[in-house]
Amino acid sequence: MSVIKPLPNEEVVLPAADSPASVRMTSEPWFLVRDKSPWTYYNKPITLIAIGGLVFFGGIILTALYFKYVSVPYALGPVCLSIGLMFLITGIVWMPIIKQTIRYNGSPPFYLLLMS
C-alpha cells in the first residue's frame, strides 16, 4: 500500500544575471502564483461557445424561415442547429474540465499545451 508523502518546501531560486532561462520554484501554493491570465486556458472553450451559439441561433432563424415558406434550402436550418449545438455543448463541457485540471495539477495537462 502506498503512502502519499508531502513534498519538502522548496526555496525560491533566482536565475543568474547572465542566464537566459528563468526558472521559478517556490513554496507558495499554486493559487498564489499566477503566471498566466485565465484567458490563456479558456480562450478555446469560449470561442467554441461563441461560434456554436451563433451557428445555433442562425439555424433557428433558417428553420423558422423555412416554416414561414421563404425560399431556404430545407436541410440548411437543421444542419446549422445540430452543428451549432455540438460546438456549444463541447465548449460548455470543456470549461469545467480545464478548471478542474488546473485546480488539481496547478498547470494544464500536456494535451492542452499541444493544442495551443
- Number of domains the chain contains: 1
Please tell me the predicted confidence (pLDDT) of residue 53: 97
Q: What is the rounded distance in angstroms from the CA atom of residue 113 to the CA atom of residue 91? A: 17
pLDDT tens for 76-97 read 999 999 999 999 999 999 999 9
Q: Considering the entire predicted model, what is its pTM? A: 0.60
Q: Contact at 8 Å (CB) between 52 and 91?
A: yes
Q: Is a pLDDT exceeding 90 seen at residue 2?
A: no
Residue pLDDT, tens place only, 18-71: 555 544 555 555 555 555 677 788 899 999 999 999 999 999 999 999 999 888
- Domain extent at residue 83: 38-115
- Cα distance between residue 71 and residue 52, in whole Å: 24
What are the DSSP calls for 7-43, one per residue? PPPPPP-PPPTT-S------SS-TTT---S-HHHHHH
Asked if the structure places residue 74 within a domain, the reply is: yes
